[in-house]
């Protein structure tokens, strides 16, 4: 880790900020890094794997500070947690030495249009149209508010800036991600809704809802993802393919981001 810190110190321009985070979604044991944290916490006799994440994060932050100097303006130390769980955030930030060291707390406050992709709703929207999917998304923004509220409480409690390590719409079949099973009609409607011009209004309203809940103030709001073809696993890209950036009209989600960034 010291080698990486030294390399970045020597090669990143002085006017660039380096965001330092241990890994992606360590709280999520669906991924290898989460499973690794569980094993390490067990081996070290820690109460849970979130404590290992906190311990390793602190070690990394200290390694960077040793190279860049304490409180370097070139560094921002980030910890992340599961967006729906203040308990996870508390495990990471309470009694672990991270208070006063970490500067940003990040989560993934996706908007799933009030669980539109759960098994019940997937079957329901399979028999409707893409316009019905958009209508549901336009009328369900309050379903996101409890998640946004949690990060505001965490940020206030621990005096941290708020970021999103991932965010955006999550209009996809939840079960497909874990099982691979799919409802072809629902998939078609979800993809069509994501590509519809009406998605522009949904996406821009979502971005402004993030902003009104204290995102984008002094830490990044990262959108997942930049480019990716839609599939049964979801329509995650704000562009379906690279050349779409030059098309007119471009992807409605991408256009919404451009207009949001210009204050439109």
Q: Are 89 and 105 in contact (CB under 8 A)?
A: yes
Exposure pattern of 48-70 as b/e (b: 16+ CB <10 Å)? ebbbbbbbbbbebbebbbebbee
pLDDT level of residue 177 (50, 70, 90 thresholds): confident
Average pLDDT in the 162-176 region? 95
Average pLDDT over residues 78-95: 98
**Total domains, the chain:** 2
pLDDT at position 179 over 90: no
In this predicted structure, what is the pLDDT of residue 62? 98
| Integer Cα distance of 163 and 104 in angstroms | 7
Q: Which structural domain, as residue segments, surrounds residue 95?
A: 1-102
Q: What value does the mean pLDDT take over residues 98-123? A: 97
Same domain, 74 and 16: yes
Within 13 Å of residue 51, how many CA atoms lie on the same side as its CB? Answer: 13
pLDDT at position 175 is 87
Taking each helix axis from N to C terminus, what angle separates 199-212 and 184-195, rounded to the nearest 10 degrees?
70
Q: Are residues 116 and 168 in the same domain?
A: yes
Q: Answer yes or no: do 97 and 177 share one domain.
A: no
**Given this model, what pLDDT does residue 8 score?**
98
| Distance between CA atoms of residues 49 and 207, nearest Å | 32
H helix runs in 12-129, sequence order: 32-44, 49-68, 86-93, 119-126
């Amino acid at each position: 880790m010291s080698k990486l810190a030294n390399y970045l110190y020597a090669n990143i321009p002085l006017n660039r900020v380096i965001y330092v985070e241990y890994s992606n979604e360590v709280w999520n044991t669906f991924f290898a890094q989460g499973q690794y944290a569980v094993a390490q916490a067990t081996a070290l006799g820690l109460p849970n794997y979130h404590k290992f994440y906190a311990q390793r994060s602190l070690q990394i932050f200290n390694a960077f500070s040793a190279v860049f100097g304490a409180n370097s303006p070139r560094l921002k130390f980030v910890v992340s947690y599961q967006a729906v769980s203040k308990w996870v955030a508390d495990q990471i930030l309470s009694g672990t030495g991270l208070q006063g060291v970490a500067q940003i707390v990040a989560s993934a406050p996706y908007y799933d249009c009030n669980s539109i992709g759960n098994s019940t709703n997937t079957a329901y929207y399979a028999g409707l149209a893409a316009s019905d999917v958009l209508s549901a998304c336009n009328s369900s923004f309050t379903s996101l508010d409890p998640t946004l509220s949690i990060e505001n409480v965490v940020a206030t409690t621990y005096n941290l800036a708020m970021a999103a390590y991932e965010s955006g719409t999550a209009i996809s079949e939840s079960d497909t991600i874990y099982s691979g099973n799919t409802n072809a009609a629902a998939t078609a409607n979800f993809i069509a809704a994501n590509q519809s011009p009406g998605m522009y209004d949904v996406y821009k309203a979502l971005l402004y809802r993030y902003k009104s809940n204290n995102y984008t103030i002094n830490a990044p709001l990262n959108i997942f993802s930049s480019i990716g073809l839609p599939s049964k696993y979801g329509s995650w890209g704000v562009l379906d393919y690279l050349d779409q950036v030059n098309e007119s009209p471009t992807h409605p989600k991408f256009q919404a981001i451009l207009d949001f960034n210009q204050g439109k």
